[in-house]
Structure 1
Amino acid sequence: MKEETKRKKYYLKKYRRCITKIDRLEGKLSELDFKLEGLNSKEITDMPRGGQPLTLDELLVRKEELKTRINNLVQSSHRIRQEACFAFDALDDERCAEVLEMYFIDLLSLDEIAETKHYSFRHVIRLYSQGLEDIQLTISGH
């Protein structure tokens, strides 16, 4: 695979990585919300507790930190998505653009794209490869 194509692929996968990070942080945020709810209700148990208990203030600070991190990732993902979609729209072959958008933005696997579009898997691979070769990206930060 050409070095330039690798760079394009790496850049386009940044959106997928952002979405994965956002999902992970939102899971942590849900856990914090659960802990915050637990502070409001006292539960008596004979089970030993380990570690230092977290205070309400500590939990609220962590929650705000997580929200800030999530918001930063969301903003970053919007920028990447917008740049990628602009590049997809500039492709001459609509089928290549559609395959790339479904893979990098809609987060579908190549198998799922083949099934959805009623293409053979090999045809999807060809469209994907051709699209990556033809796409023009202004890769910021590189």
Structure 2
Amino acid sequence: MASTQQQASSGSDERKRKRMISNRESAKRSRVRKQQRLDELISQVSQLQNENNLITQNINNATQMYLGAASDNNVLRAQLSELTDRLRSLNSVLQIAEEVSGLALDIPELPDTLLEPWQLPCPIQPITASSDMFHY
């Protein structure tokens, strides 16, 4: 009876040993999968940071272009105003010359676009957003 008990015990020990080996292998596979997933996530974070940097650069470039165009537009509007004033003054001189000389001079009317510069459909508003607000 002792030998059958020993065989049963050794069979049970063998099953426990196989289960332990199987559990270790399963745990190892789980750790490998976990590490692979972590590596994938780290790679994805790096890729997203690179994309974010590129988008930030694009926003900064577009903002600089907008500011340059807005500055140029302000200069052009100031020049338009100055030239309109000069044209009005010259037309006044021509009217005086016309009255004094008695000659009929052809003095063109100022176009409406000069008297009242074009109106954009929506007013220009400054950009209040900044690329810095997108950093997490």
- Is TM more than 0.5 here? no
Larger Rg: 2
**TM-score under structure 2 normalisation?**
0.40
User: Which of the pair is proportionally richer in helix?
Assistant: 2
